[in-house]
Amino acid sequence: MVRGPLPLHLGDVVRLKKPHPCGSDRWEIVRVGADLRLKCLGCGHLVLLPRSRVESRIREIYPASAPPGAPPLKPGRDLI
């Protein structure tokens, strides 16, 4: 399946397929570019990963611009 870039923005929270060793699977996007810098919401750990690698691991996106309580975006269902 070929899909375009996911709509990822500064401040968005993403849920990844594999949890961090600290137990949290939620990360905040703190820098956007060819590489994404993510901050673990469980322990505050920072990682820098190629965007393509992050996109392939995303299970849900919680856009920073979405109202509180809005359902997350799911790649493959809400996004092509």
**Interface residues toward Zn ion, by CB under 5 A:** 20, 22, 24, 40, 42-43, 45
Nearest distance in Å: CB 47, Zn ion? 9
Nearest to 16 by CA among 51, 57, 56: 57
Q: Of the two residues 42 and 79, which places its CB atom closer to Zn ion in the complex?
A: 42
Q: Of the two residues 38 and 73, which places its CB atom closer to Zn ion in the complex?
A: 38
| Residue 24 Cα to chain centre, angstroms | 13
Residue 45: what residue type? Answer: H
Nearest distance in Å: CB 21, Zn ion? 7
Q: In the chain, which residue ranges form alpha helices assigned H by DSSP?
A: 51-57
Nearest distance in Å: CB 16, Zn ion? 11
Q: Of the two residues 26 and 66, which places its CB atom closer to Zn ion in the complex?
A: 26
Sign of CA dihedral 47, 50, 51, 53: negative
